[in-house]
């Protein structure tokens, strides 16, 4: 294959095909274009189909689907480099079948996402956006004291998915005095927090459920009606994973009926649409899928993407391969 050389610093930079929705792109001034030859079909459609046939690396920007059809057009593809922690938009089964490696954002986003999960929890328990609104709308001098919130450290926190993000959430909330427990595909032997075998048992023993697991066939609607009943009337759900991890219709009903204490949601089943019942509630904090939207995250993401691509083109171990189930 022409142009591919482990010592690519001395030759042309290797070619990487970019796969994205037209509305998605990296912020300008990114470092990727200086290190690799990025072929972007949206800005410059390839003149020859043979070029696509020789592509070994695909860079996925944003949640654009990678389907069997996508893969059929790229017979030489060996790696898909994702730009998010979640890879639910990539057909992993097909990739496995064709021996195509997949990498994700690794831990580039973990701290920011964990910070945001904590911020959402504060928002719900200590009523931050509601309190801020109360002041700005001029109610403080008129209506007096603001209603009381709830103490963070008194809450038992259940983390759904103790991966990179879940671990960072646990570390932070433990410092506030929260007791931590978790559910994960497998129990983690090096972790001292109590482990529960399923989401319902975790919910039954928690006051707050923080959803930060990957979205796949097993975890779709993992937070369902039974989990919400187990969590209880004062329970709080924080979702910084993916919208479909939570049965949104049930969540809305539980909140409207007062059978759930509150929710902090950064993700939804049909973004950017948010159920209008949620827009009217004071015990809910909403955010526009921005848990990783910091310049620091994007710098870290570029580091991970560059590291993965460099490792691939030099035949070295990948930095953040998505683990096989």
208 CB-contact burial (10 Å; exposed 0-12 / middle 13-18 / buried 19+): buried
- What is the Cβ-side half-sphere exposure of residue 121, based on CA atoms within 13 angstroms? 31
Q: How far apart are CA 123 and CA 283, in angstroms?
A: 9
Which residue stretch of 4-12, 79-87, 107-115, 159-167 sits at the interface with other proteins (rule: CB under 8 A)?
A: 107-115
277 in contact with other proteins (CB under 8 A): no
CB-nearer residue toward other proteins: 64 or 92: 64
CB-nearer residue toward other proteins: 160 or 285: 285
CB-nearer residue toward other proteins: 199 or 274: 274
179 in contact with other proteins (CB under 8 A): no
175 in contact with other proteins (CB under 8 A): yes
Query: Least distance in Å: CB of 207 to other proteins?
Result: 12
Subset of 136-155 contacting other proteins (CB under 8 A)? 136, 140-141, 144-146, 148-154
Chain Cα centroid distance, residue 170 = 16
Residue with tokens 């433990």: 174
CB-nearer residue toward other proteins: 51 or 175: 175
Q: Which residues are catalytic?
A: 242, 271, 289
b/e sequence 279-308, b meaning 16+ C-beta within 10 Å: eeeebbbbbebebbeeeebbebbbebbbbb
Residue 24 near residue 62, CB atoms below 8 Å: yes
Residues lying near other proteins in the complex (CB under 8 A) are found at: 111-112, 114-116, 118-120, 122-123, 125-129, 131-136, 140-141, 144-146, 148-154, 171-172, 174-177, 271-274, 279, 285-290, 293-298
């Amino acid at each position: 294959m022409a142009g591919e050389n482990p010592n690519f610093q001395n030759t042309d930079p290797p070619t990487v095909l970019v796969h994205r929705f037209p509305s998605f792109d990296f912020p300008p001034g990114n470092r990727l274009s200086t290190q690799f030859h990025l072929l972007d079909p949206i800005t410059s459609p390839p003149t020859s189909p043979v070029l696509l046939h020789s592509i070994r690396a695909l860079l996925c920007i944003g949640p654009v689907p990678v389907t069997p059809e996508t893969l059929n057009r790229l017979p030489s593809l060996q790696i898909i480099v994702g730009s998010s922690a979640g890879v639910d938009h990539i057909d992993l089964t097909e990739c496995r079948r064709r021996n195509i490696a997949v990498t994700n954002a690794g831990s580039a986003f973990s701290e920011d996402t964990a910070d945001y999960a904590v911020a959402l929890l504060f928002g719900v328990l200590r009523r931050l956006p509601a309190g801020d609104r109360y002041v700005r709308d001029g109610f403080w001098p008129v209506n007096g004291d603001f209603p009381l919130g709830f103490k963070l450290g008194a809450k038992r926190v259940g983390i759904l998915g103790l991966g990179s993000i879940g671990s960072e959430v646990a570390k932070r909330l433990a410092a506030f005095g929260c007791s931590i427990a978790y559910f994960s595909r497998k129990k983690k032997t090096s972790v001292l927090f109590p482990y529960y075998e399923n989401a319902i048992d975790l919910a039954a023993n928690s006051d707050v459920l923080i959803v930060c697991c990957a979205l796949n066939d097993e975890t779709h609607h993992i937070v369902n009606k039974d989990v919400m009943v187990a969590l209880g009337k004062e329970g709080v759900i924080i979702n910084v994973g993916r919208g479909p991890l939570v049965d949104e219709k049930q969540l809305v009903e539980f909140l409207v009926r007062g059978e759930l204490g509150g929710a902090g949601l950064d993700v939804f089943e049909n973004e950017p649409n948010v159920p209008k019942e949620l827009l009217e509630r004071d015990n809910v904090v909403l955010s526009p899928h921005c848990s990783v939207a910091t310049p620091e995250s994007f710098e870290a993401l570029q580091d991970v993407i560059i590291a993965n691509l460099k490792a691939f083109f030099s035949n070295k171990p990948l930095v953040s391969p998505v683990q096989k189930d």
